[in-house]
Amino acid sequence: MSVTAPQGFEAAGVAAGLKSTGKPDVAVVVNRGPRKVGAAVFTSNRAKANPIIWSQQVILDRTVEAIVLNSGGANCFTGSFGFQTTHQTAEKAAELLGVAAGDILVCSTGLIGTGDEAFRAKVLDGTEQAIAALSADGGDDAAHAIMTTDSVAKTALVEREGWSIGGMAKGAGMLAPGLATMLVVITTDADLEAIEADTALRAATGKTFDRLDSDGCMSTNDQVTLLVSGASGVKPDLEEFTAALTELSDQLAAQLQGDAEGASHDITIRVANAVTEQDAVEVGRSVARNNLFKAAIFGNDPNWGRVLAAIGTTSAQFDPYDVDVWMNGVRVCSKGGPDRPREDVDLAPRATDLLIDLQVGDAEATIRTNDLTHDYVHENSAYSS
């Protein structure tokens, strides 16, 4: 169901030949209203793909009629020709839907540098096909059409009294903050003002997608979009809506983590008792990006020394001789020295919990990451992406 679970949305996913496998590669999600509110957050990478440059303009007036997404090519670093392709995609969709091109968001994902004439023709053709195929239960088709190296389609649904939030996501590598490399479309039939939608989206992504750091690499094409139809007629409290949106975003973030390229462990790094939340995030991210720690977890080695070495590179407040480190419930380091023997830690399960207790304050944060494996290297060396 995903993005078509809430009332007021139609979607479709079709195969336009962008993927060499012949699988679906163009998706469209349309907001039938009555509200046409959109909010979005974008990659903080300064090398931005053409669809990002376009969508950042579209979102300024917070009115969005539809979003067109393609896999099979990032349309990034494809120059003015590539930007025209994005522009023409929006115009094609607008013409067929009878709305303004300036209210059409566009997202692309795939190999950087892909965006030639053949690409343009296929994207435009796919947009036309998808709009012809729009339906109120097209959410799953859309979720499949945005997949790249994803092994499964990622969707989520959170239901509340009289309204709901649906979402779809793609992403399986290059997951890092500022966003992860992901495309996410979230829809809701809750009745929200544009400013409320924007506030809720920034709060939810800040605690979820922004704290997923699979491999430290930041994409050029990331976008998380929230579309609001208001079709339920229910006006939830902003705090209640933000909580529900955070819950849904966390579910999608966990699915992205669980499908990260080549990973054999999903590592949840909880940093507790920091002086500030910012310190906790910095410490968690530093450990999440430490290749030696990540390789050790792949090898089922509870190597707390590598954790402390990573903490030492941060500017967070801490005393090395007051830090405790727990792995899967076993305290392997207490006050900066060895504690329980490494043999006591069972790292065989995919789910891995790392708890870093800084013992200097009461702020905390959780960062999700993965291990560094042979398969990660294989997937990112054997194929261009």
Select from 304, 365, 367, 368 the one that contacts a second copy (CB under 8 A): 304
Site string for a second copy, 45-74 (x = CB under 8 A): xxxx-------------------------x
Query: Which segments are annotated as binding site?
Result: 148, 170, 181, 261, 380, 385
User: What CA–CA distance (Å, rounded) separates 67 from 28?
Assistant: 6
User: What CA–CA distance (Å, rounded) separates 203 from 78?
Assistant: 33
113 binds a second copy (CB under 8 A): yes
Question: Of the listed 78, 109, 181, 208, which one is catalytic?
Answer: 181
Select from 292, 329, 346, 350 the one that contacts a second copy (CB under 8 A): 292
Q: Residue 77 CB: number of other CB atoms within 10 A?
A: 15
Stretch that binds a second copy, among 18-26, 33-41, 141-149, 373-381 (CB under 8 A): 373-381
Minimum Å gap between C-beta 298 and a second copy is: 4
Q: Identify the CA nearest to 147 among candidates 3, 19, 254.
A: 19
Select from 308, 354, 355, 356 the one that contacts a second copy (CB under 8 A): 308
Site for a second copy in 221-280 (CB under 8 A): none
Select from 162, 233, 329, 338 the one that contacts a second copy (CB under 8 A): 338
135 binds a second copy (CB under 8 A): no
173 binds a second copy (CB under 8 A): yes
By rule CB under 8 A, what count of residues binds a second copy? 62
313 binds a second copy (CB under 8 A): yes
CB-based contacts of 72: which residues, under 8 Å, 6+ apart? 18, 19, 25, 110, 114, 119, 122, 148
* 78 catalytic residue (yes or no): no
350 binds a second copy (CB under 8 A): no
User: What CA–CA distance (Å, rounded) separates 4 from 142?
Assistant: 10
Minimum Å gap between C-beta 264 and a second copy is: 10
Structure tokens given for 81: 């020709």
User: What CA–CA distance (Å, rounded) separates 29 from 23?
Assistant: 18
295 binds a second copy (CB under 8 A): yes
Q: Residue 309 CB: number of other CB atoms within 10 A?
A: 16
Residue with smaller CB distance to a second copy, 250 or 261:
261
Residue with smaller CB distance to a second copy, 173 or 284:
173
Q: Decide if 70 contacts 18 (C-beta within 8 A).
A: yes
Q: Give residue for tokens 């309204």.
A: 163
Q: Decide if 220 contacts 74 (C-beta within 8 A).
A: yes
218 binds a second copy (CB under 8 A): yes
Site string for a second copy, 140-159 (x = CB under 8 A): --------------------
As a 3-state breakdown, the chain gives helix, strand, coil percent values, each rounded to 5, of 35, 25, 40
Minimum Å gap between C-beta 26 and a second copy is: 21
Minimum Å gap between C-beta 183 and a second copy is: 16
Q: Counting Cβ atoms within 10 Å, is residue 46 exposed (0-12), middle (13-18) or buried (19+)?
A: exposed
93 binds a second copy (CB under 8 A): no
Q: Decide if 167 contacts 156 (C-beta within 8 A).
A: yes
Residue with smaller CB distance to a second copy, 237 or 315:
315
Structure tokens given for 91: 């115009």
Site string for a second copy, 175-214 (x = CB under 8 A): ---x------------------------------------
Residue with smaller CB distance to a second copy, 48 or 154:
48
132 binds a second copy (CB under 8 A): no
321 binds a second copy (CB under 8 A): yes
User: What CA–CA distance (Å, rounded) separates 38 from 60?
Assistant: 9
Q: Counting Cβ atoms within 10 Å, is residue 225 exposed (0-12), middle (13-18) or buried (19+)?
A: buried
Task: Supply the residues annotated as catalytic.
Answer: 181
